[in-house]
Amino acid sequence: MSLSSTRRRAAAAALAAALLVTLAACGDADAEKDTGGPAGAASEADLTVLAAASLTDVFRTAGAAYEKAHPGTRITFSFAGSQELVAQVSQGAPADVLVTADTRSMDKVRADAGTPTVIAKNRLVIATGKGNPHKVDELKDLADTGLKVVLAAPEVPAGKYSRQILDAQRITVQPVSQEPSVRAVLSKVELGEADAGLVYKTDADSAKDKVDAVRIPDAQNAVAEYPAATLKDSKNAEAAAAFVAWLSSAQGQRILLDAGFQKP
């Protein structure tokens, strides 16, 4: 075999090897493109979560835990009364997840949301000033006309539950104000602008240094349910669904239970 033939074959072999390396590199690049990064890496997502006001503290804790476990995902929360959140969704506000404090509110945006999952439950208590200076011991004490009582407005889930339990016990209460969220009710009691108010147990727990909580017997109480759902117009549908699913996971449930919420 001539020297020139040997050289030509060697050159051809080198070219073939180079082509194989190039093709392999292209394959790796395509794989990274398809997955949003190196194999197994999570794609980045900015999620906006609309959540009931009573979830303010626990969701801040949950959000921090979720972001730590899911690098690249950032969550922005918007807290308000469920009726306000429903209005925002109906008006097309950009968001990815909705969590309300009752199923009725979620039902109003059925056309805009996916199938909801109840992630937690809650119950009402009577919030009073620290030390319970007016000696409020039970629901019927709220009927005292000398007592400044504040309730959530009727369209707010906490307001709906409050009237439900008061009506069931045939107790007439004349509130000095009706607030747009349960957190606004709590604030009135904290500031001394009201002597008592009906709030969720978890709200009272979050302000133990400022208010006392008077337990309402289960037979006289109402159970609040918190459904969570992805929004159909979300631009991060996969990440939104992952967050909703995580709320029902062991870690998500542990955070909710530690904050005083009940199992769904």
CATH number of residue 164's parent domain = 3.40.190.10
94 and 64 share a domain? yes
Q: Burial level of 68, CB count in 10 A (0-12/13-18/19+)?
A: exposed
138 and 207 share a domain? yes
94 and 171 share a domain? no
* The predicted structure's pLDDT at residue 44: 77
Note whether residue 40 is domain-resident. no
Note whether residue 236 is domain-resident. yes
* Number of domains composing the chain: 3
Per-residue DSSP letters for the chain? --HHHHHHHHHHHHHHHHHHHHHHHHHHHHHHHHHTSSTTPPPPEEEEEEEEGGGHHHHHHHHHHHHHHSTTEEEEEEEE-HHHHHHHHHTT---SEEE-SSHHHHHTTGGGB---EEEEEEEEEEEEETT-TT---SGGGGG-TTS-EEEE-TTSHHHHHHHHHHHHTT-----SEEESSHHHHHHHHHTTS-SEEEEEHHHHHHTTTTEEEEE--GGG--EEEEEEEEBTT-S-HHHHHHHHHHHTSHHHHHHHHHTTPBP-
132 and 16 share a domain? no
Task: Encode pLDDT of 121-157 as tens digits.
Answer: 999 999 999 999 999 999 999 999 999 999 999 999 9
**What token pair was written down for 131?**
């030390």
Note whether residue 197 is domain-resident. yes
Note whether residue 6 is domain-resident. yes
110 and 68 share a domain? yes
Considering the chain, what percentage of its residues have pLDDT values greater than 70?
84
90 and 72 share a domain? yes
**What token pair was written down for 144?**
């005292």
* The predicted structure's pLDDT at residue 24: 40
User: Across all residues in the chain, what is the average pLDDT?
Assistant: 87
* The predicted structure's pLDDT at residue 46: 94
Task: Encode pLDDT of 249-263 as tens digits.
Answer: 999 999 999 999 999
238 and 154 share a domain? no
Task: Encode pLDDT of 178-236 as tens digits.
Answer: 999 999 999 999 999 999 999 999 999 999 999 999 999 999 999 999 999 999 999 99
Question: How far apart (Å, rounded) are the C-alpha atoms in residues 264 and 69?
Answer: 23
Note whether residue 70 is domain-resident. yes
Task: Encode pLDDT of 37-61 as tens digits.
Answer: 333 334 579 999 999 999 999 999 9
Note whether residue 192 is domain-resident. yes
219 and 128 share a domain? yes
Note down the domain range covering 129: 122-223
129 and 189 share a domain? yes
151 and 22 share a domain? no
Question: How far apart (Å, rounded) are the C-alpha atoms in residues 145 and 16?
Answer: 93
Question: How far apart (Å, rounded) are the C-alpha atoms in residues 162 and 141?
Answer: 14
Note whether residue 241 is domain-resident. yes
Note whether residue 232 is domain-resident. yes
pLDDT higher than 70, residue 11? no
Q: Which of 4-8, 171-175, 227-231 has the lowest mean pLDDT?
A: 4-8
Question: How far apart (Å, rounded) are the C-alpha atoms in residues 59 and 51?
Answer: 8
111 and 234 share a domain? yes
151 and 240 share a domain? no
